Amino acid sequence: MSIRPFRDINRKKTREINVGKVKVGGDNPISVQSMTNTLTTDIKATINQINLIENEGADIVRVSCPDQESTIALKEIIKNVSVPIVADIHFHYKRAVEAAKNGAHCLRINPGNIGDKTKIKEVLNSAKDNQCSIRIGVNAGSLEKDILEKYKEPCPEALVESALRNIKILEDEDFFNFKISVKSSDIFLSIEAYKQLSNVTDYPLHLGITEAGSYVPGSIKSSIGIGNLLLRGIGDTIRISLSDDPVQEIKIGNEILKSLGLRNRGVKIISCPSCARQGFPVIETVKKLEEKLAHIKTPLTLSIIGCVVNGPGEAAMTDIGLTGGGKENNMLYLSGVQSKIITNDNILNEIVKQVEKKAEEIETSN
């Protein structure tokens, strides 16, 4: 039982590209990605972090390749992970060529700062030969000098002009397997740039608010900016940029998609903020349930409400529900129907058992 969104979001149909085994654009689910913050040359640490990011629900992971040692390490890293890897390249065209040859599934570059046409062509030939896609990554903080001089400061029109210039560079070389981003740390600038770009191209768009900050402010800024665009049907893949553990970026990204009904993965918990009416410690219970249910990948809904004011109504719309009652008479609901009373000391075990059982039923029926 899932809560039906108030309205369906009409996504813009874009071209479909491949990032390894993940299809981006078209009718495919919006993918969530993050980026490692280990030294790429520390192969073991990078592999471990990629696996943690993937286990949290990442579809794609980006790895920085600032030097040849990093692109050499990339080959060993890719052999030991299962999620598609994007090589993050700036300025050095040889790093892009090496990354494609060493197994990168996508290159994050700005064609305009790679060098002359000969160098760009060599990068694109390597990408073609190795079935490697490209992300054109335009950023307000690193616009081309002439564009910045023209507009005096970063603005939506400047970001879009840079994107279109880079698109033409690839198209002129008959390369079309790419996606685009036009990021800024300013929410309003980013939203307007993506809106304008979406109006003039049908290539898949990678959404993000760059350098959004630490966990709380960065999550809020990203939710506002990315959520605004997704509600307009704009966006095919997202990355939350936080000064934090990359695993947290995936948590926030998936929560944004869950909240908009665009993609479901794992248990969606509906819970109250708690008050003096609560029949059990709601906040502590929810925190523990999030940890104990993190292994569930099957999409299902769980309501944890401390009292009978809103509890029965929420339980009627979720797969499993718990409503607090007086003297530990907490009611368990299954598929919206009252099932049995649970005492406070048995809440965690019973809820986990029921969620795991429901997840197994859903998987079996599928």
8-17, 95-104, 279-288, 345-354: least confidently modelled range:
8-17
34-43, 116-125, 191-200: least confidently modelled range:
116-125
Nearest to 20 by CA among 31, 12, 10, 36: 31
pLDDT at 251 > cutoff 60: yes
Are 17-259 and 267-365 the same fold in CATH?
no
Which fold does the domain 17-259 belong to in CATH? TIM Barrel (3.20.20)
For residue 215, give both structure tokens: 């966990």
Q: What is the pLDDT of residue 4?
A: 47
The span from the CA of 81 to the CA of 83, in Å, is 6
The answer to whether the beta carbons of residues 166 and 138 sit under 8 Å apart is: yes
Nearest to 93 by CA among 121, 72, 62, 134: 121
In this prediction, residues 132-156 reach a mean pLDDT of: 93
pLDDT at 180 > cutoff 70: yes
pLDDT at 78 > cutoff 90: yes
pLDDT at 282 > cutoff 60: yes
pLDDT at 2 > cutoff 60: no
For residue 335, give both structure tokens: 């598929």
The answer to whether the beta carbons of residues 290 and 348 sit under 8 Å apart is: no
Q: What is the pLDDT of residue 3?
A: 45
Mean pLDDT estimate for the chain: 93
Domain ranges of the chain: 17-259, 267-365
In this prediction, residues 304-312 reach a mean pLDDT of: 93
Model confidence at 315, pLDDT cuts 50, 70, 90, reads very high
Model confidence at 147, pLDDT cuts 50, 70, 90, reads very high
Q: Is 3.40.50.620 the CATH number for 267-365?
A: no
Q: What is the pLDDT of residue 193?
A: 98
Residues 6-51: tens digit of each pLDDT: 456 889 999 999 999 999 999 999 999 999 999 999 999 999 999 9
Model confidence at 366, pLDDT cuts 50, 70, 90, reads confident
pLDDT at 5 > cutoff 70: no
Q: What percent of the chain is predicted at pLDDT more than 90?
A: 86
Single-letter amino acid, residue 119: K
Q: What is the pLDDT of residue 7?
A: 56
